[in-house]
């Protein structure tokens, strides 16, 4: 096949679409910004792409709850298309607001969960958390996006990032990322876990590993010079987040 085609979904209030598109382009993909209404009106076809991304932002002003309005559109107007997309073996990535939307639409932790048993809500700190955090990859996870990665250092920027989970809602394989401290301790709490997220979970995937979402922003650390201490530590060619995009593109090349 030719270059991997990536659809970057936009909606009113999306504000990380350009950075996410750039990250996929740097990883070798062909990326397009597509408004949700273009999919609803069938001006664009989800089936024409191998990767779908729901990027960060504050879609529809996060009215009602973060990502909820977009989640309703995804579930009610595009649910069959998204289900078919996943069943065809393709990839979905949700970042921050995208995480919130995919969970509230019922596409995570498993596709079309008839009775969602988890959500994302207000941070325990009661404030918007905007800073850099350490992350550890959960090795038993089948997540396509985190293969070959041990640790990550990425920024967060959210007010409703606390994952709340009913007992049994997440399996061992659903957990993809943990918040950690500088030494990699996954039991460290606030401020290392910026939201109070259950079990220090920062990202989850479905059982196939092909639908993945996280609260931190990998698209904001794809170059070494985006690290906040690069002038003191020295700049690497790539930032920690870049491998997530490269993994997706390399995997999708086989579709």
Q: How many CB atoms lie within 10 A of CB 179?
A: 30
250 is a catalytic site residue: no
Catalytic residue (one of 138, 192, 217, 227): 217
43 a catalytic residue: no
Which one of the listed residues 16, 96, 143, 205 is annotated catalytic?
96
Residues 73, 110, 160, 219: which is the catalytic one?
219
How many angstroms separate the CA atoms of 37 and 85, rounded?
Answer: 18
Residue 96 annotated in active site = yes
Where in the sequence numbering do the catalytic residues fall?
A: 96, 217, 219
């Amino acid at each position: 096949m030719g270059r991997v085609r990536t659809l970057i979904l936009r909606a009113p209030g999306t504000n990380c679409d350009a950075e996410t598109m750039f990250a996929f382009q740097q990883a070798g993909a062909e990326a397009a910004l597509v408004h949700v209404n273009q999919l609803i009106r069938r001006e664009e076809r989800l089936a024409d792409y191998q990767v779908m991304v729901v990027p960060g932002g504050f879609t529809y002003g996060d009215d009602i709850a973060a990502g909820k309005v977009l989640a309703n559109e995804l579930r009610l107007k595009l649910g069959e298309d998204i289900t078919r997309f996943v069943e065809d073996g393709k990839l979905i990535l949700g970042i921050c607001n995208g995480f919130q939307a995919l969970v509230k639409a019922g596409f995570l932790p498993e596709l079309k969960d008839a009775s969602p048993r988890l959500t994302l809500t207000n941070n325990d700190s009661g404030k918007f958390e905007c800073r850099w955090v350490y992350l550890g990859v959960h090795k038993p996870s089948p997540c396509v996006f985190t293969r070959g990665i041990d640790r990550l250092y990425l920024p967060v920027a959210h007010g409703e990032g606390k994952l709340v989970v009913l007992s049994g809602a997440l399996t061992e394989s659903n957990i993809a990322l943990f918040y950690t401290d500088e030494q990699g301790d996954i039991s460290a709490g606030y401020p290392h876990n910026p939201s109070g997220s259950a079990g220090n979970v920062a990202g989850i995937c479905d059982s196939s590993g092909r639908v993945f979402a996280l609260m931190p922003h990998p698209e904001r650390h794809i170059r070494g010079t985006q690290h906040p201490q690069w002038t003191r530590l020295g700049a690497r060619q790539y930032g920690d987040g870049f491998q997530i995009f490269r993994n997706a593109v390399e995997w999708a090349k086989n579709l």
